[in-house]
Amino acid sequence: MYKCNLCNYYGDMKVISKIEDRNILLCPNCKLQFMYPQTSDEELSKIYSNKNYPTCSFDNGAEENPITLMKRKTFNRILKKILPYCSNGNLLDIGCSSGLLLEEAKLIGFESYGIEISENASSIAKKRIGSERIYNGTLETSNFNKNFFNVITMIDVIEHVRNPIETLKYAKNILNNTGGGYILITTPNTYSFTNKIMGSKWTHYNSEHLFYFNKLSIKKLCDICGYELIYCSSFAKTMRLDYMSFQMKEHCHSFVSNLMNIVSNIPIIGKINFPIFTGDFIVILKIL
């Protein structure tokens, strides 16, 4: 018998996948998938403090390279999704890594701020954006003013947080609640084509991902936290096969990594940027 962290359903749940000694469970009521038991703080700290962790191992902040250029293309396309709703003002990127999205947001016209738990990544972001605009820590321990932000972005973050409900409720405190405040989220989608094909071997199932959403469970999260779901769609990331091979290796998906490594070694192909649907979706929430 298990209890759902989102809808509080209590009862039997199907085991969708296993990661070492932990289960990925499916709530039959709201369709949220979640890890049980959750990865410990000590284990997560080791993962995020690793300089080879994929979020920042490609970027030293000193010079552009093919991977940072690839990332910028994805971030630019993501930011364009928010422009019909908000095109300027203060933007906070939670989990900002080395600050690439924040630089792209600044070019569009936003005032950029960031939160990053990794000390190594946040130090790079501070050099890019300014030390006074980057907070090394979590949203809950930050001290931003109430009603300060017009937009909050969470790019591949909501699946990492210990309690998504608390995170989104806390975000309401610093979002502008007079002229409309928005949250843009990207996260793995359990209703995606890649999930249906790969099943329990889905590449997004890993130790640092504590929650796995779809449109139904995201809508439930919005209802609980006081947001309206105004946009929801799958989206393609700009990727290089050699980078994908590296990520798969880091997350112990050796078969997929080896296959991509073989293909990426073909002249030219491994260096080309592709729009690839990796099983993620993008949602935009409006504060009520």
Q: Considering only CA atoms, which of 6, 3, 1, 42 is closest in space to residue 217?
A: 6
Q: Which pLDDT value is given to residue 268?
A: 67
Has residue 61 got a pLDDT over 90? no
Has residue 190 got a pLDDT over 90? yes
Position 238 confidence tier, pLDDT thresholds 50, 70, 90 = confident
Q: Considering only CA atoms, which of 31, 217, 21 is closest in space to residue 13?
A: 31
DSSP E strand stretches across 27-165: 33-36, 89-94, 110-116, 134-136, 151-155
Angle, nearest 10°, between helix axes 215-225 and 164-174?
Answer: 50
pLDDT in tens, 81-124: 999 999 999 999 999 999 999 999 999 999 999 999 888 889 99
Q: Which pLDDT value is given to residue 274?
A: 77
Out of 21-25, 76-80, 166-170, 198-202, least confident range: 198-202
Has residue 184 got a pLDDT over 90? yes
Average pLDDT for residues 162-189, to the nearest whole number?
95
C-alpha separations of 20 from 207, 252, 278 in Å: 9, 11, 23
In the chain, % of residues over pLDDT 70: 85
Burial class (CB in 10 A: 0-12, 13-18, 19+), 95: buried
Structural contact between residues 185 and 158, judged by C-beta atoms closer than 8 angstroms: yes
Q: Which pLDDT value is given to residue 199?
A: 94
Has residue 80 got a pLDDT over 70? yes
CA-to-CA distance for 73 and 277, rounded, in angstroms?
14
Position 46 confidence tier, pLDDT thresholds 50, 70, 90 = confident
CA-to-CA distance for 121 and 129, rounded, in angstroms?
12
Q: Considering only CA atoms, which of 95, 129, 131 is closest in space to residue 110?
A: 129
Which domains does the chain show, CATH number per domain? 40-287 (3.40.50.150)
Q: Which pLDDT value is given to residue 239?
A: 77
DSSP E strand stretches across 168-270: 182-188, 211-212, 227-234, 237-239
* 232 or 267, greater pLDDT: 232
Q: Which pLDDT value is given to residue 266?
A: 63
